[in-house]
Structure 1
Amino acid sequence: MTTTSEVTEELGFAAALVRMSHLVQHVFADVSRDHDITPQQTQLLCILVGGPVGMTELSRLLHLERSSLTGLVDRVERRGLVSRVRDGRDRRACRVTLTDEGSRLAIESHRDVTGRLDTLAGELPDADRERLASAVTRLLAQHDTAWISHSFGEPPLG
């Protein structure tokens, strides 16, 4: 019988990222339970910590179809955590912003998620943590560049 560690060794980097993704999802689930919200609501609030975000960008960041995102924002708005505001540059569009209560919960949730992830990596030497952060940042930048190119009709990178 093949063990999980053998599968990771056989598949290497991609398998490790899959397992890491599951771990991050579990951290979001645990933090969400602590704050009596869903993991998707926690992800939304964590994104909004950086400021208001348009619905199209939220759809991309959360990998949700427009109707699913609308439902998510509706539920969080009913809880008084976010509000929709008109986009000053495009009257047809709106941006989602945190309310005072939403900001408090978003900051707490974000702090809890990042704190737990930092704790998980606590035994890694600083140099390894910095290399990992740098590699992940580069991967995310490549993904963002590919998404932007694809969205504007240019062929994706890769």
Structure 2
Amino acid sequence: MEDTTLATALVRLAQLVSRVYAEVGKEFELTPQQTQLLCMLLGGSTGMTDMSRALGLERSSMTGLVDRAERRGVVARVRDQRDRRAACIELTEQGKEIAYAAHRKVTEHVEKLIGDIAPDDRERLEHLVWTIVGTPAPRS
């Protein structure tokens, strides 16, 4: 029997979005995780620990991801102004160009997935997703 629970639907949605990151990443010769990293850094410099949590990566995996992105020239490590022992990650100029382009393509792909959902349903879904994510909805 097919499992049709909301949790299963959300897992399938997460898998679908992961595939979008993979497809877009290929266009820029990035891994899906590198693509996510760059898109997330569009919000500004972020601490390694915070980024590790956001991406669901262990510390060593996060370090490797940032090492590879740094060698590629798309991110740089900088000292955290609040805690000089900690490092933050920020986009380089090249990284910003790629991140904006990748984010635009990811968004376009996801918009196609959303399709013709009615405006009221779309608004409700948006509210519910932000509630699930646990952060306030960005202001338009």
Distance in 1 separating the partners of 2:8 and 2:77? 39
TM-score, length-normalised on structure 2? 0.93
Is the counterpart of residue 12 in structure 1 residue 21 in structure 2?
no
RMSD: 1.1
TM-score (ref. length: structure 1)? 0.82
Cα deviation, 1:87-142, whole Å, max 9, x if unaligned, reads 11101001100000000000111111111101111211111111111001001117
The residue that corresponds to 1:49 in the other structure is: 42
Runs of 4+ in structure 1 off by over 2 angstroms are none
Q: Which residue of 29, 32, 35 corresponds with 1:39?
A: 32
Q: Give the distance between the partners of 1:74 and 1:54, measured in 2 at CA.
A: 14
1:124 counterpart SS class:
coil
1:35 and 1:63 map into 2 onto residues whose CA distance is 23
Query: What is the CA–CA distance in structure 1 between the aligned matches of 2:56 and 2:5, rounded to whole Å?
Result: 25
Larger RCO (CA within 8 A; separation ≥ 6):
2
Is 1:77 the counterpart of 2:70? The answer is: yes
Name the % identity: 51
Aligned to 2:107: 114
Match of 2:89, SS state, is strand
| 1:97 equivalent in structure 2 | 90
Specify every segment of 5 or more residues in structure 1 that has no aligned partner in the other structure, as ranges: 143-158
Kindly state the Cα deviation for residue 11 of structure 1 after the two structures are TM-superposed.
Answer: 3.0
> In the TM superposition, what are the counterparts of 1:136-155 in structure 2 within 5 Å?
136-141=129-134
Q: Secondary structure at the match of 2:130?
A: helix
State the AA in 1 paired with 2:110. L
SS at match of 2:85: strand
Greater Cα radius of gyration, structure 1 or 2: 1
